[in-house]
Structure 1
C-alpha cells in the first residue's frame, strides 16, 4: 500500500466536530463545553479531517466567514502521526478551500516561521490572561437577550472583520454561558460573552467603546460565575485591554501570534478587549 494514496481529506459532519474539539482538549487548549456546535454554525463546510487508512489522524478548521475573510484553527495532528506530511496536506486543503480570502490565525510563537512560509505575516500578539474573578453588578449592564439581535450583529461587525450572524446566534445562545450588553444613549456600546470550559471559564468576545464599559462588562460576567478561574485573551496592541486584565489581578500565561495572509483587517483594535477564540478569531 502507498502511504500517500492511503491518506484522504474529507469534510466533517455536524456530529463529528466533537472530535477535533476533543483533540484540542487533549492538547491542553481547554475548549468550551459547547464549542463544537457553535464552531460548526460559523461554516458547516469548513471543518476537515485527514484519515490514513480509515483512521482519523489530523484535523483542521478553515472557516470562510464571507467572500473576503477566513480563519484557520484547530490544526492538530495526532502525536504518533506527526512528521509524515499528513498535516501539510490537510493544511493545503484548508487553504485551498479559503482561496483568495484574507486568512487569519492565532499560532504559537515558535511556529511563526512555518506560517510565514505559507504566506502569513505577523500582525500582533494576543496575550492570554488568567485569574479568579468575583465580579460586580453594574446598572448599565443587561442581558444580551433583551436586545434586538440585529443590533448585536451590527455592533459585532464593527469589531470583527466579517459579519457572523449565524455563529453569534449559536455563541450567545449556548448553554452554560452568559452574554451581556452595555447600552449608552439608546445604542449598543459593548458586549461580552462568558462560557464554561473544561476547566473554569473564558470570556470572549469582549468588545466595548472604552475601557470603563469593558470593565463593567467584565465585572458583570464574572459576577455570574463568581470564584471561577477566568481566561481572557487580549491583543497586545490595545494597552487598555492589557491594563484591564492586570487591574483585575489576572496574570499572563500564554501568547499567540495573530497573523494574516494580507493586510490586517481595518477594525478598531482599541475596542477589542477580548478576542472571541483562538480557533475562530
Structure 2
C-alpha cells in the first residue's frame, strides 16, 4: 500500500460495465488469469461494488468491494494500481473507499504474503493459507450417475449447500455463477436428493479455472473435477485449495498438478468457521 496523496485531480467513481471490463484487463496484465465472463458475472452480484480511481479523467486503479445482498458479508478483490502510478497514494485511497463501502460487514480477501502485514493494520486477521495448483488434467471418460447439472437442481438446495462452505448465503452470486460465470456447473447428488458436492469451471485467459469445488469426500471431488473438464481433450486448469485440506493437496499432486504459489485468506471480525476439509477449491479469489 502507498503513502497518502492529496492530488485534487484524483477521484473515485462507481464503475460502469465498461470499467469492469477494464478491471478484467488489469487482472490479465497482473497474470491473475481472469475468467472470460468474470466482468458481467461479478457485476451481477453487486453492481455498486466496483470502483475506479480516475486521475485527470483516466483510470489508474480499481477495486471490487462486493456486498452480498441481504447479508453482512463483503469481499474485496481486483485491487490493482497501474504500475506507473504506484507509490503515490491512489491505491490507499481507493482501498479506504472500499472499506467504507463495506462498513458493518465481515470482510474477506485473499492477500499475497508480502501484503498481509498491511491488511492487519485495517483489522484483517489471517485465517488460512490458500495454495494454487496448476497443470493439465488428462482426458478421462468417466460416467457417474450421481452428477447432474446445477441448472437442474432447485436453487434453495444449492443455496443451502453453498452456505455451508461460505460465511453467508450468496443467492445472487450462485445464480450469476451458474447461468453466466461458469462454462459448466455440476452437482453430485445422492439418490435421495441429498447434495454431496458442487463444482464449477470457467474458461480463463490461460486455460480453465476451477471453483468452487466442494465435496464430502475426495472421491466425490475427483469425480466432479473430471466431469467438469471438457471431454474432448486434456484440460489445463488452476484452482485454489485451502492448506488444511490435505486430501485436496494430495488430489492435486496425484493428478501431477504443480504448486504455483499461495495467498492468505483474511477476514475482519470473527474468522468464519468453515469445513475446510470439504473445500477442494474456493470459488474465486475475487469474490471468495
Once residues 184 and 150 of structure 2 are traced to their aligned partners in structure 1, the CA distance between those partners, rounded to angstroms, is: 8
How much has 1:280 moved relative to structure 2?
Answer: 0.8
User: Which residue number corresponds to residue 99 of structure 2?
Assistant: 95
Equivalent positions of 1:192-231 (< 5 A) are 192-224=199-231, 226-231=233-238
Return the match for 2:44 from 41, 46, 61. Answer: 41
Whether 1:31 and 2:37 are equivalent positions in the alignment is no
Whether 1:50 and 2:53 are equivalent positions in the alignment is yes
Once residues 27 and 237 of structure 1 are traced to their aligned partners in structure 2, the CA distance between those partners, rounded to angstroms, is: 27
How much has 1:92 moved relative to structure 2?
Answer: 0.2
Once residues 182 and 124 of structure 1 are traced to their aligned partners in structure 2, the CA distance between those partners, rounded to angstroms, is: 26
Once residues 206 and 282 of structure 2 are traced to their aligned partners in structure 1, the CA distance between those partners, rounded to angstroms, is: 19
How much has 1:176 moved relative to structure 2?
Answer: 6.4
Q: Is the 8 A contact 2:64 2:78 kept in 1?
A: yes
Once residues 250 and 115 of structure 2 are traced to their aligned partners in structure 1, the CA distance between those partners, rounded to angstroms, is: 27
How much has 1:221 moved relative to structure 2?
Answer: 1.1
Whether 1:63 and 2:66 are equivalent positions in the alignment is yes
User: Which residue number corresponds to residue 172 of structure 1?
Assistant: 178
Distance change (3 Å), C-alpha of 1:19 and 1:123: same
Q: Which ranges of 4 or more aligned residues in structure 1 deviate by more than 4 Å?
A: none
Once residues 259 and 176 of structure 1 are traced to their aligned partners in structure 2, the CA distance between those partners, rounded to angstroms, is: 25
CA RMSD of superposed structures (Å): 1.6
Distance change (3 Å), C-alpha of 1:274 and 1:175: closer
Q: Is the 8 A contact 1:178 1:224 kept in 2?
A: no
Distance change (3 Å), C-alpha of 1:175 and 1:127: closer
- Show structure 1 runs of 5+ residues with no match: none
CA deviations 1:214-245 (Å, max 9, x no partner) are 11111211254631211111000111111121
Whether 1:241 and 2:241 are equivalent positions in the alignment is no
The secondary structure found in structure 1 opposite 2:158 is helix
User: Which residue number corresponds to residue 81 of structure 1?
Assistant: 85
Once residues 188 and 119 of structure 1 are traced to their aligned partners in structure 2, the CA distance between those partners, rounded to angstroms, is: 36
CA deviations 1:8-52 (Å, max 9, x no partner) are 101012332111111000111010010001110121111000011
Distance change (3 Å), C-alpha of 1:225 and 1:152: farther
**Count of matched residue pairs:** 280
Distance change (3 Å), C-alpha of 1:238 and 1:113: same
User: Which residue number corresponds to residue 161 of structure 1?
Assistant: 167
Once residues 100 and 182 of structure 2 are traced to their aligned partners in structure 1, the CA distance between those partners, rounded to angstroms, is: 35
Q: Is the 8 A contact 1:232 1:245 kept in 2?
A: no
Once residues 157 and 177 of structure 1 are traced to their aligned partners in structure 2, the CA distance between those partners, rounded to angstroms, is: 22
How much has 1:206 moved relative to structure 2?
Answer: 0.4
Whether 1:12 and 2:15 are equivalent positions in the alignment is yes
